[in-house]
Structure formats: structure tokens, C-alpha cells
């Protein structure tokens, strides 16, 4: 693919805005609707926001790190951007689809590129029943919360909660508890990415739970169903020597 028209977007920080101005002066800046590629500048937050805002545009995204974490970003360099784009490695990802029902019967839907997470809203521990493809796997998980993560999100909050890092292309999802009290020895599970996972909130009035799909929060849920959204495809671009697969493998060997 030839990347002639570039759309730059920047996080609301001085460092990102300075990079935006410098790159725009050198390469121009077209509207996203006319772009061959979108280049977000900042950290993983602006990358996720850009992906969500353009999830059905089919425009590839090549991020450059002008933030703090930047796991999904390439290194920042002002020069030779078009050469880097031409030699970049493409990675296709499918987000997760979350369907939630609240205590008042409302239905909410959202997509998650990293993970869908459930959290207790009060000092009371959550009690959650978990089904995988309709089969009850845990009849009562007592915890602070639980999450289902994609491979791309497995190095983020999932990893901080002691969940496994999943290599890109492994066709797996990580189901990870957050501070589980019972079953005390359950550390989570790896599931095929075709699995449908449903969470039933037990004692939802006494123990209210919020569901998060990346940035989208739904409070006071009674049931949450999560499955991979095969009808949505996101394309990320990475420098060949620092592609996403290599980053995820390398992350597992860091001290």
C-alpha cells in the first residue's frame, strides 16, 4: 500500500503537540476521511482513542510514542516517516464485543480492543457466576473483579493482575480474576478466541458491579456477555524490527 496521505492526531500534551506541528510542516496533514494512514502521537491512551474513533474506517494506524507507556506505539522520529510506513509490518486485530444488562433492564453495547473488565463499586466483594459457551465454569467467584483480555491487551491491565501474556496470532483470550478470594487458588484461564463468556452478577443490589470495555463504563450491571467481534478488523502498523509479536514475546522475559 502506498501511504501518500497522512492524518496526524495528537494527545493533549505539549510533547505530542510539538511533534504534531513538526510532522505536519514536513508531510502535510489531511482529513482522516482522505487518509491512507492515521498517525497518532502520544501514548497508548491516544492510540486506543484513535482506534475506537476509526474502528470501521479500514484505515491502518501507525502510532509514534510521545507519551509515557507507548507499548502499541513506534519510536518517534521526524525524518524518514514515509520510508518507515512503506516497510512497516501490518497486524490485524479483532476487538471484543461487550453486551451488558443493567439493574433497570437497559441494554448497553461496546467494543474493547484491550479488555472487558468487571469491578466492584463498593466495599462489598463482588460475587460473579461465570459461563463459557453456556457451561457454568465457576458458580461463585468472590473477588474485586474479573476481566477478559485480547492478546493486544494482555500486556496491560491483565498482566498487572498477574494474567498471562498472549502472543499475537495465538487465537486465545485471557480470563483473569482481580484479587480473587474464592476460589482462592483459581488464577484464571486461557480460552479459545471463539468462546463466548458470560458473567452473571450475584446479589447485584447488595454488591453492585461496573463493566468497562476499554473507555466505556456501564454501572450497576446484572449480566455481561463478551465475545470476539469478528465483523470488526483493526490494522496496526509497526516497524519491522519492533513489531507487536516481538514486543509481546520480549515482554515475557523482562526482569
Active site residues: 44
Please answer whether residues 220 and 54 qualify as being in contact, where contact means their C-beta atoms are separated by less than 8 angstroms: no
How far out from the chain centre does Cα 164 lie? Answer: 15
What DSSP string runs through 98-122?
EEEEETTS-EEEEEESSEEEEEESS
Question: How far apart (Å, rounded) are the C-alpha atoms in residues 220 and 177?
Answer: 19
d(CA 199, CA 241): 40
Say how far apart CA 149 and CA 162 lie, in whole Å: 12
Q: How far is CA 38 from CA 55, 95, 113, 194, in A?
A: 12, 18, 17, 29
C-beta separation of 90 from 243 below 8 A: no
* 115 neighbors 153 (Cβ within 8 angstroms): yes
Q: Compute φ and ψ for 149, nearest 5 degrees.
A: -120, 145
Distance separating alpha carbons of residues 148 and 190, to the nearest angstrom: 10
| Backbone φ and ψ of 216, nearest 5° | -90, 120
Amino acid at each position: 500500500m502506498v501511504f501518500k496521505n497522512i492524518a496526524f492526531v495528537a494527545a493533549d500534551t505539549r510533547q505530542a503537540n510539538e511533534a504534531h506541528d513538526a510532522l505536519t510542516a514536513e508531510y502535510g496533514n489531511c482529513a482522516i476521511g482522505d487518509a491512507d494512514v492515521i498517525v497518532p502521537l502520544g501514548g497508548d491512551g491516544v492510540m486506543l482513542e484513535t482506534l475506537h474513533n476509526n474502528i470501521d474506517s479500514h484505515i491502518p494506524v501507525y502510532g509514534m510514542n510521545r507519551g509515557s507507556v507507548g507499548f502499541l506505539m513506534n519510536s518517534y522520529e521526524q525524518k524518514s516517516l514515509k520510508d518507515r510506513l512503506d516497510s512497516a509490518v501490518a497486524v490485524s486485530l479483532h476487538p471484543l464485543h461487550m453486551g451488558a444488562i443493567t439493574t433497570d433492564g437497559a441494554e448497553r453495547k461496546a467494543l474493547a480492543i484491550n479488555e472487558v473488565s468487571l469491578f466492584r463499586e463498593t466495599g462489598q466483594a463482588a460475587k460473579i457466576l461465570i459461563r463459557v459457551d453456556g457451561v457454568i465454569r465457576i458458580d461463585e467467584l468472590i473477588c474485586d473483579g474479573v476481566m477478559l483480555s485480547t492478546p493486544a491487551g494482555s500486556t496491560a491491565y491483565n498482566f498487572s493482575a498477574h494474567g498471562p501474556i498472549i502472543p499475537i496470532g495465538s487465537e486465545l483470550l485471557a480470563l483473569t480474576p482481580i484479587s480473587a478470594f474464592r476460589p482462592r487458588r483459581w488464577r484464571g484461564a486461557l480460552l479459545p478466541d471463539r468462546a463466548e463468556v458470560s458473567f452473571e452478577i450475584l446479589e447485584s443490589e447488595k454488591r453492585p458491579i461496573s463493566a468497562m470495555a476499554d473507555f466505556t463504563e456501564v454501572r450497576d450491571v446484572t449480566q455481561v456477555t463478551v465475545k470476539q467481534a469478528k465483523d470488526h478488523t483493526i490494522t496496526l502498523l509497526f516497524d519491522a524490527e519492533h513489531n507487536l509479536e516481538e514486543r509481546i514475546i520480549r515482554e515475557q522475559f523482562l526482569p
